[in-house]
Structure 1
Amino acid sequence: MTSAEAKGPKLPPPYRPESPEPAAKPKTEAAVRRPRMIVRNRRTIVLTFRADRWAASKASDRTAEALRAWGYPDLNEGDLKAAVHRLVTAAVADGGKRVSVHLGDQDQKVLVAVLSHVTGPSDERVLSDVMALDTIDSAGTDTGADGRRLWIVLDAAPRRRRGHTTA
């Protein structure tokens, strides 16, 4: 064996002592941005519409069709359509190019989330209008980097409210 073979293959050192360690990258807005909305282990559907004056009517009709297909016999379609129409109208007013309606369900409750995909002004009147409907359990709005989100939780098997009587 020659002396070159005894030393083994020629490899560079694991690091160069004369070069400084790489500096940590500064955190950007993308690195600290909150996660997007995630719905897991639920039946879901996403409906996307061009943000125009017909979007609210299309969205309310297609949402009702989708929930009918999921089999909710006691669903108040009037409340559903009115709520979706109001939320989508508010999302279109934000001025984006598209609006998406996200549906999910669990335990006879239906989540309807409307995304405008642009940051828009917060209009609290939308929530008060929607909460006035009988079958809406909760409603909310928030704004993130991916745009404004408006959401409601609808009771698909509504119970009688106090003060309501049937003939």
Structure 2
Amino acid sequence: MTHTDPEARKPRPDYPPKTPPPPKRPPNPPPPQTELDTGRTLGPGSGRAGRTLMRNRRGATWPLEAQPWSAGRASAQVSDRLKDWGCARPDALDGLVRHLVGAAVADGGRRVSVHLAEENGHALIMALSHQSSDALDDAVLPQLRDLGAGSCGSEMTVDGRQVWVLLDLAS
């Protein structure tokens, strides 16, 4: 073959390699709206129904075994966290946290969790039993009031019983 031969001018069949074009993808749907976007409780069908979100405040959570000794551990952890945040420790704190956790442990689940949030000199402490039950113990709330809770409450959710207190850290 010579350079003038038409066969010599053709590229070789293996150069450049022919690759198919990438498949066209449909546009991605918008991401689902999360609690970070709304700052509210998510509704049914969202996969995280009934869970609330804290925004613009400090918070901490401790998962614990549902054992009698968990109340002492939770009290120490809440007290230490408030100290780390530079908050005053109310005298009633130890008794309140122990009673909250004790009520959650009494529900009979395998685990409990303690949640703490602080904002503007107030602390919200909540114990979650992770055990559904048909009955709420009505004696828990008056006992929490007697121990020094500013506000308190209890409710049954899909995640179990929530018992909470609101404390004024300035007093």
Q: TM-score, normalised by structure 1?
A: 0.70
Equivalent of 2:67, from 49, 52, 76? 52
What SS does structure 2 have at the residue aligned with 1:41?
coil
Paired amino acid for 2:70: A
The aligned residue for residue 41 of structure 2 is none
CA contact (8 A) 2:128 2:160 kept: yes
1:133 aligns with 2:147: yes
1:41 aligns with 2:42: no
Equivalent of 1:149, from 152, 162, 166? 162
What SS does structure 1 have at the residue aligned with 2:97?
helix
CA contact (8 A) 2:50 2:158 kept: no
Q: Structure 2: 5+ residue runs without aligned partners?
A: 1-43
CA contact (8 A) 2:50 2:157 kept: no
Larger Cα Rg: Structure 1 or Structure 2?
2
Matches of 2:45 and 2:159, distance apart in 1:
14
Equivalent of 2:98, from 62, 85, 102? 85
Paired amino acid for 2:107: D
Structure holding more helix per residue? 1
What SS does structure 2 have at the residue aligned with 1:123?
coil
**CA displacement 1:71-103 (0-9 Å, x = unmatched):** 113x31x31110010010010011111111110
Q: Structure 1: 5+ residue runs without aligned partners?
A: 1-29, 159-167
The aligned residue for residue 96 of structure 1 is 109
Per the TM alignment, residue 36 of structure 1 is displaced from its structure 2 partner at its CA by 1.1
CA contact (8 A) 2:155 2:161 kept: yes
Paired amino acid for 1:141: S
Q: Which runs of 4+ in 1 moved over 3 A?
A: 30-34
Equivalent of 2:77, from 62, 74, 98? 62
Paired amino acid for 1:128: P
The aligned residue for residue 12 of structure 2 is none
1:105 aligns with 2:118: yes
Number of paired residues? 126
Paired amino acid for 1:125: A
CA contact (8 A) 2:114 2:127 kept: yes
Structure possessing the higher relative contact order (Cα contacts under 8 Å, 6 or more residues apart) = 1
Q: TM-score, normalised by structure 2?
A: 0.69
